[in-house]
Amino acid sequence: MNDYYKNLPAKRMGSGALIFNDRNELLIVKPTYKDHWSVPGGTVDQNESPKDACIREVKEEIDIDLPDVDFLCVDYISNTEEKSENLQFVFYAGILDDEDIAKIKLDPKELGECRFVSTETATTMLGQKLAARLPRCIEAIKNKKGLYLEQGK
């Protein structure tokens, strides 16, 4: 690889899944290393697509095999004092039936618990940035149109 490409900036990326039950409640998870709830997902590894990362992270965190996911949004998050700039991808993973829900097994190293809640309740439990992007992601599901966001807007 030539020096030009080696010197380009690298951005962190994360990828998460919106998964619902048949009552239109969202699956949220409580990471053991955060003080707020999230959705299944995590860091995109080097040379991994955001979509593949989403599917892998869901398998690792809750032991559910997703056949596929649909793109909902990418959100650009600028630098903060705590973290460097990053891109957050959100995908729609569909609706789990009761049989699939019964198969959920949490990775105890990463997650303390999970539950299905209304999207309104989820916005009060999720981290601030994900809570800001959630209504737009719900809009993307309804409109079947992916979105580009910056800081959740």
Q: What is the CATH number of the domain that holds 7?
A: 3.90.79.10
What's the CA gap between 1 and 5, in Å, rounded?
A: 7
* Domain of residue 144, residue span: 3-150
Domain count, the chain: 1
Going by C-alpha positions, the residue among 39, 37, 126 that lies closest to residue 89 is: 39
What's the CA gap between 113 and 90, in Å, rounded?
A: 21
Overall pTM surpassing 0.85 (yes/no): yes
pLDDT of residue 27: 98
- Please tell me which residue, 9 or 18, carries the higher pLDDT value: 18
What's the CA gap between 133 and 10, in Å, rounded?
A: 23
Mean pLDDT of the chain: 94
* Band of residue 121 on the pLDDT scale cut at 50, 70, 90: very high
pLDDT surpasses 80 at 19: yes
